[in-house]
Amino acid sequence: MRFRVLSLPSIHEDAVRILESVAEVRMNTRDRSLTKEELLSEVGDIDAVIVGGEMVDEDVLGAARNLKVVSRFGVGYDNVDVGAATRRGILVTYTPGVLSDAVAELTMGLILCLSRRLLRADAFVRSGEWHRGGRFPLTMDLVGKQLGVVGLGRIGSEVARRAKAFGMRLSYYDLVRNPGLEEELQIEYLPLEEVLSRSDFVSIHVALTDRTRKMIGPGELSLMKGTAYLVNTSRGGVVDQAALYEALKERRIAGAALDVFEREPIPADDPLLKLENVVVVPHIGSATVETRRRMSITAAENVTRVLEGGSPLFAVNPEVLCSR
């Protein structure tokens, strides 16, 4: 009997072919994410599932009696109960590295949106203000400005490389220092408090864990300069969104750019959306044709390797391999 694989996100046709070489492939044909009830009804006989942002909790894992691998289509896996999967001998995999460039490019794009007020400039022209003789206010150079990177991993280091090309000064905070990157990128390690207080732009690049949840809260925001900007392309839960709203509303920081939110999609009536000093985009960090193809192939190869009795490319809980 062939394996059965369920793919919840839309994946590239090249990845589908990889999966079809070993399994029957079922796709989510709905133009939306599955509800939990729908997911529970789908997973009963599957051997592998590729997931986007869907929650894979104890209930889902318990309903999937044949499940061998949960393949996360992305770099974060906070929506998967890794502990429960490990107890059941189910591998959890993910797709790091292949999306670092895309997220770093978006991060720099958001920094440019903030520094040059690009969205306001677009509205200035479209509204006819320029035609009526209005003068758009002066904006900010990036050359010589300080970028503080919180989390110098795969994505954070790529952001630092791009920022260096713009002539920005660099500092970072991470739980683990990286002397090699410090020398290569001329980036200074500082405690988090000093990164926040010295930087003109603070860019967040950490995974969402119990330790990092709301790591940027009222106290941390109060350390930032009144002229500074916060950029978050990691996970919404890393920033206390209510505290950020208050800091932006009261102009205690100059602005923010967000690709991620505590609740996604962000509700249409969220007060954050009424502020003019925040740029918001709909979690599109990896949303390029090229990157999504690479992510699809990596997610598929993680699945096929496990189903064929091997090791995945990227395992979150490799200890499961030792118990086979």
Of 85, 112, 218, 304, which Cα lies nearest the Cα of 122?
A: 112
Catalytic residue at 250?
no
Residues 6+ apart with CB under 8 A from 259: 106, 110, 232, 233, 281, 282, 283, 284, 285
In the chain, how many H helices and how many E strands? 13, 12
Catalytic residue among 169, 205, 283, 305: 283
Q: Classify 144 as helix, strand or coil.
A: coil
Catalytic residue among 205, 235, 292, 305: 235
Strand partners, 239: 216
Phi, psi (deg, nearest 5) at residue 205 = -145, 60
How many CB atoms sit inside 10 A of residue 170's CB? 21
> How many Cα atoms are found within 13 Å in the side-chain-facing hemisphere of 37?
0
- Dist. CA 278–CA 249, nearest whole Å: 10
Catalytic residue among 184, 193, 264, 290: 264
Question: Cα angle vertex 182, ends 93, 96, to 5°?
Answer: 10
Strand partners, 146: 169
Give me 280's structure tokens. Answer: 């918001």
Catalytic residue at 120?
no
Of 52, 15, 48, which Cα lies nearest the Cα of 32?
A: 52
Sign of CA dihedral 29, 98, 281, 251: positive
Catalytic residue at 283?
yes
- Dist. CA 72–CA 306, nearest whole Å: 14
Active site positions, annotated: 235, 264, 283
